[in-house]
Amino acid sequence: MVTKSLLVELLVEELPPKSLSKLGSSFADGLAESLQAQGLAASDARVTTYATPRRLAVHLTRVVAQAVDKPVSRKLMPVAVGLDQNGQATPALLKRLASLGADASMVSQLKRKPDGKMASLFFDSVEKGERLVEGLQKALNETLARLPIAKVMTYQLDDGWQSVHFVRPAHGLVALHGTETVAVSVLGLIAGRETQGHRFEASVNPIVLKNADSYAQQLETDGAVIASFTERRAEISRQLTVAAAKEKLTPIDDDALLDEVTALVERPNVLVGEFELEYLEVPQECLILTMKANQKYFPMFHADGKLANKFLLASNIRPQDTRLVVGGNERVIRSRLADAKFFFDQDRKKTLASRIPGLDKVVYHNKIGTQGLRIDYVRAIAKAIGQQLGGAQLAAQADQAAMLAKADLLTDMVGEFPELQGIMGRYYAQHEGLSDDIAAAIEDHYKPRFAGDELPRNQVGLCVALADKLETLVSMYSIGQIPTGDKDPFALRRHALGIIHMLIEKDLPLELDTLIQQVIRIIEDKSIPESWIKRVSAETQYIPRQVPAEVNEQLLAFIYERLAGSLREQGYSAQEIDAVLSLRPQNLGDISKRLAAVRAFAALPEAISLAAANKRVGNILKKVEGSISSSVDAALLKEPAEQALYQALAGMLSQTNETFIAGDYTASLQILAALKSPVDTFFDHVMVNAEDELLRNNRLALLVQLQQAMNRVADISKLAT
């Protein structure tokens, strides 16, 4: 069967730059998958995606004009329903055949096949292969309906009556199978072979495409457009590197910015711009954000990492004289940087402490109160954590940092650039002469902000970061704001992971359950000064909260779920994670050591037998009604097997205690290997549920001791298959 390449292009007005790459991939993949499913494109057809600011396109190899015919076997109905006692067709069967274009003459050709507990009638036929024109039309309709469009536009067609819905108004459609046009239509457009090149620099417009395979080459030579998103991105990256090297500088490494700029230009031309040195007095984070967010420029840095007063811009045109392009961009960035400098100068006229009363007017949540009231909670929590980690001095520093942590929310700079919250607080704190520990903590209390982000750099920052995240979790859970599905408006999952990473990676000697209970006590504290209540704005009508009793357990479960997910991503097995986390270890800094111990134990030849025995012990103890004592009366141990197990447990108890207390969990678990033989013998020769109540209770107590000894590091019954 003859195959040809297929090209489909949709020409539109400028697409949303942050969505272009995803739209291009979805358009190409959707068409390819649909055509392959219909048998019109080979399963190994090569799919090439094209996406520019003004077009979505796809090129497929090995596409046929019509799919091959295929045999189809359709189930009609049970034999008892389709045929009467004489084997003649019932009205129901005749009606079903008619719907398939057949008649009574086909009854004899129906096949009987077993179908569950009965036999059914099946009609075998040959289905005509789909023609490309119908198949492509179906593929286009399905693909456009499934495009990941955040916001749809509605616009009228040229006739002035019909309206269509799409991400941007569409102006052209190309569909070429080899050299032939495929007569499909979407969005009020009929497919042809003409497309548009660059708005200003195309040498030919419109471009009449010769065939499907000439698309990219004709667009580049005649239309001055690099159609491939990937190739255009690589070209911009190359030009950035070359231009920066000429200035002996390094461009910023920012994939998201590079993607966005790639989606803004069709014919990239990287140029160098410059601004006055005086603007470098402004914190470089502000300048970088201004250049990236507002103008899509690429800041450049000296070898020491300091920001240079030069930047790179990707123009969409290539004039012989670039001075007007560069000069225009320099004028724009100069005004932006002047605004940043003005904000910075104005903000420094007021201290952070003087801004704190203003936080009483910033509503955090109408059921919780203002940022001002919330800060008082965070201060109390941070102070308590500081006292535990470093005594009075650290507690005082944590209190001060927590008090100032949110003050920069009321600065002009953060008002303009919310992404700089915390960062500007550090700069303003340093300007006021506060210690580096306090200044760093103001910035770091938001960390970690995302997976892989760095942790707070000092103890003060850790105290405030933990306090801020714990207060958020407890407060939100107390008013029922619990994440559901993919909805997490207050980023509680991120807060939980942040707490986990700080406790584990910094190996903090803090118990999770104790921390949560401590926060709950602080939030429920009724001894709030009258002056505090008076600070509340009239809109919030704040009332001291009661935290529901179930919040403690809900939060513990939530955090351990996040921890389990994090550990799975690190490569630990579900069994290993379950064995450790089922015990709910409160010191999360021990988690990695416990997991390593479980992995080493699982490699022992005795592990499978001991895990199975532990599971058996757990099942026996679960069936016992009432409490079970762990005190064993040696005089009641009648059987040699139970005496041997008792002696084996007693002999290793001090050794396992020493290794466990020392944190050598691997050794603590491996000592258990010696129990394999006495445990196996015990279950082979001892009846636990003896008729004599004293004997039975004594043997159950022995099993309790065995379970306690085996499950100090992890519940090894979880390793049983």
Mean pLDDT of 95-119: 83
Mean pLDDT of 191-196: 97
b/e map 454-490, b = 16+ CB within 10 Å: eebebbbbbbbbbbbbbbbbbbbbbeebebeeeeeee
d(CA 175, CA 63): 12
Pick from 329, 330, 240, 323: which is nearest to 279 by CA? 330
In this prediction, residue 544 carries a pLDDT of 58
Mean pLDDT of 668-679: 89
Average pLDDT of the chain is 91
Which tokens go with 253? 């490494």
Sort 420 into a burial class: Cβ within 10 Å, 0-12 / 13-18 / 19+: buried
Lowest mean pLDDT: which of 72-81, 130-139, 377-386, 609-618?
A: 72-81
d(CA 403, CA 396): 11
Cβ(31)–Cβ(60) under 8 Å? Answer: yes
Lowest mean pLDDT: which of 294-298, 374-378, 460-464?
A: 374-378
b/e map 311-343, b = 16+ CB within 10 Å: bbbbbbbeeeeeeebbeebeeebeebbebbbeb
pLDDT digits (tens, 9 = 90+) for 139-175: 999 999 999 998 899 998 887 788 999 999 999 999 9
Phi, psi at 111, each rounded to 5°? -105, 145
Q: Is residue 690 over pLDDT 50?
A: yes
Phi, psi at 24, each rounded to 5°? -60, -45
Q: Is residue 534 over pLDDT 60?
A: no
In this prediction, residue 539 carries a pLDDT of 45
Cβ(179)–Cβ(211) under 8 Å? Answer: yes
pLDDT digits (tens, 9 = 90+) for 468-501: 999 999 999 999 999 988 889 899 999 999 999 9
Which tokens go with 598? 């479980």
Q: Is residue 537 over pLDDT 70?
A: no
Q: Is residue 531 over pLDDT 70?
A: no
Mean pLDDT of 543-558: 86
